[in-house]
Structure 1
Amino acid sequence: MSTKIAPIFQQSASCKQPQTKEELLTENTKLRKENAALKKENAELKKRKRSDDAGAVPPSSSKKAKTPSQRKKLFEKWAKAAARESAKTKMSNYDGMMPYTATVKETTPWTVADFESLFCTDNNNNNGGVKLQPTPTNKPTSQITILEFDTHDKVQQLFGDANIPLDGYKAQAWKSRNFCKSVRVGDYPAILEGLQVHYNKSKCTLQLQFLFQTEGCYDYDD
């Protein structure tokens, strides 16, 4: 019988003994360090991926430059949108000349190539506009480009064959009195005085801020 029991006894003797409290603490500390290292590595990988994604060229950049007919359609669309947004503007308790802005936002992403093909951000040729930002003296590292067209003639020069009128615009006229709800009483006639183009390179977003000014008193509604 001794020859049969011996192998079983030897196998039991070789089994790992229960860990002491100190050993458990040591192993726990080791696992914590390994977990922290994995978390750090994962965070670095995510950061690297975000950086790669930000630097990636959007697929649309591979498209050909917009044709003259496509350019004209875009500017015609923006001219109509400017009048539409102007008509939504509310002006209260004011008679006389007052400036206001109507903003048109593009909903589709715009690549740098798309932006430059329409607005030409070269310092010496901005289609009649002036670059306000970035410049050597104003936010030279900014990702946001701002071009200003400070007269209607310069806006029309930018729009080219797409007509954008000087006048014929409206802004809502509202009147309010003490303890009374404001009511719309008519429309202010307005003229187009200029345009600011805002392009965010990192977000690929484009905004056109049309600058208007009311002319005199508002026209009463019938």
Structure 2
Amino acid sequence: MVEPLKLLILGGTAEAAALAEAATAAGHEVWTSLAGATRTPRRPAGRLVSGPLGGIDGLTRLLTGEGFDRLVDATHPFAETISANAVEAALRAGVPRITLRRPPWTAGIGDRWYGVADLAEALETLPRAAAPEDGRVFVATGRRGLNLLAARPEYSFVVRTIEPVAVLPPGVDVTLIRDRGPFDLAAERGFFTEHAVSAVIAKNAGGTGAEAKIQVARECRIAVLMIDRPPSPPGLWASRVDEVVDWLA
């Protein structure tokens, strides 16, 4: 019989929610922090930790003060600050830590990918991928950094976000769509057709929830300016929920 553990999950992803459900079903006491996630996240199984964690010091206090046995970093692959804080806080608190990361997407036959480091480089590279008259550029990187679109006023953009965008860059043709995935192939095909998508700017988030847009780009021979992932945190890591559940045992 598995000895119940007190587990803190740094969440905000589908994998984190699946882990919370699986670990709860296995008899563990599960807490999930959604700091840095959307304003209206889907509530996971177990107990929810609301609000900012307070950086390394705050996370360390939470781990030690509440007596957690394990820490799982199941945040978004691009949540660099939270992941770095998790590494240091776990060391200070003496709590074993593992990172749960879904595998990245990889380019396949028919893909037209341009690997870039960030949104700024994607916009610099954009003329190699599509001409302004070809259609709209689908920006699927979230609501942050959209002011950078001002660097390409000759292009038209369609931006899809979960959260509202307070300010859009002036002098740029931007269509803003608020919607929450996952999106299936049929929905993405319709989106690409409706907005005459000519290129995609996306983060290499991996997983299946946001993959349909990559598949549609492949079908349509549309270029994807793919923002590479930051380096993974050091230490143990897993790519599947069941691997983490086994680690808890």
TM-score by length of 1: 0.25
Determine which structure has the larger helix proportion and give its number: 1
TM-score by length of 2: 0.23
